[in-house]
Amino acid sequence: MKVISWNCRGIANRRVRCHVKELLNTTKVDALCLLEIRSPKADNMISYVRPNMLAKCRFWEDCESFGRSLQAPWIVMGDLNDIAAVGEQWGSDSVNSNGLQRFVDAYSRCGLIDPGYSGSTFTWYRFAGGRVIQMRRLDRVLWNLSAQHAFPESKVRVLPRLHSDHSPILFIGHAGRPPDKHLRSVRFEAAWLTRSDYGEVWKKVTSHGVQNIETIIATVTKDNICWNKKVFGNIFSRKRHIENMI
C-alpha cells in the first residue's frame, strides 16, 4: 500500500497538475490525497488541520473520540500545522514550548505515535525575496500501535518540494513478511542449552543489525532445525535411544 499526502496549494496551476501526474507515474501510489486544492470543481480528498487554536482543538477531539471507538489500525497523515520539537523548525528564535507539548499531548491522547521518516527534516518553507526565511515540519504521519504491528516494515518519506511551499509525504505500508508455508512448527528443546555452541545460532541471526521480531523468530527457527540436524544429532532420536537403553 502506497499513499501520498500533498498540500499542493492549488490544482488549477498547470505546473502543479504536471507534478501530480509525475508523482502518480513515478511512485505508483494507490492513493494521492491533495490538500488546499483551491478549486470549486473538486473537494479536498482529506482535510488538513487549520492554523487556529479552535480548529485544532476540534480536530484532535474528533480524533480522540475516533481512536477510542476503534480497535483496529488507523493512521493520520497530512498537514497538521504544528511541530513537536524545537529541532523541527528553522528561522525562528521564539518557539512556544507550551505549543510543542500541547501538540504532542493531543496526538498522544489519541493513542498515536510518530513512526519517524526519511528525507528532509522540514516539509514547509516560507520565502521572502526569493530566499527561504523559515522552515518547519508541518506534514507528517502518525499511527497507533495496531498499525505499527500490522505494518512492521513500513516507511515514511519526505519527497522533494516542487511548485508548493509544502513537500509531499509518502507512506509505504508493508505488512511484513508472510509466514513461511514450508516452515513446520518447531519446539524449543532445553537440551540444546547443554551445548556451549548453541548460543552461536542466536548470535549469528542478531548480528545483522536492526530487524523486526518476526524476521528474527523465523530465521532462528530455520537455523534451529538445521543446527539440530547437523550438529546436535537430532534430539528426538537421542531421546528414543536413551529410553530404549533404560
DSSP for the chain reads -EEEEEE-S-SSSHHHHHHHHHHHHHH--SEEEEE----TTS--SS----SSHHHHHHHHHHHHHHHHH--S--EEEEE----SSGGGEES-S---HHHHHHHHHHHHHTT-B----EE-S--EEEEETTEEEEEE--EEEEE-HHHHHH-TT-EEEEPPP-SSSB--EEEE----PPPPTT-------GGGGGSGGGHHHHHHHHTTS---HHHHHHHHHHHHHHHIIIII--HHHHHHHHHHH-
Q: How confident is the model at residue 219 (pLDDT cuts 50, 70, 90)?
A: confident
Model confidence over 144-192: pLDDT tens digits?
988 988 888 899 999 999 889 999 999 998 876 554 554 455 566 667 7
CATH superfamily of domain region 2-172:
Endonuclease/exonuclease/phosphatase (3.60.10.10)
pLDDT of 211 > 80? The answer is no
Residue 135 has pLDDT above 80, yes or no: yes
Per-residue pLDDT tens digits for 101-130? 999 999 999 999 999 899 999 999 999 998
Domain boundaries, the chain: 2-172, 190-245
Average pLDDT over residues 48-72: 87
- Residue range 7-35, pLDDT digits in tens: 998 887 888 989 999 999 999 999 999 98
- Higher pLDDT: 148 or 211? It is 148
State yes or no: pLDDT of 63 exceeds 80. Answer: yes
CA separation for the pair 228, 190 (Å, rounded): 12
pTM higher than the cut 0.75: no
Mean pLDDT over each residue of the chain, to the nearest integer = 83
Q: What does the angle CA 198 – CA 199 – CA 203 come to, to the nearest 5 degrees?
A: 130
Over range 43-48, report the average pLDDT.
Answer: 56
CA–CA gap between residue 219 and residue 196 (Å, rounded): 20
pLDDT at 6 over 60: yes
Please state the rounded mean pLDDT for residues 129-138: 94
Report CA Rg, the chain.
25
pLDDT of residue 44 exceeding 80: no
Give the pLDDT score at 117.
92
The per-residue pLDDT for 45 is: 46
- Percentage with pLDDT > 70 across the chain: 81
pLDDT at 228: 77
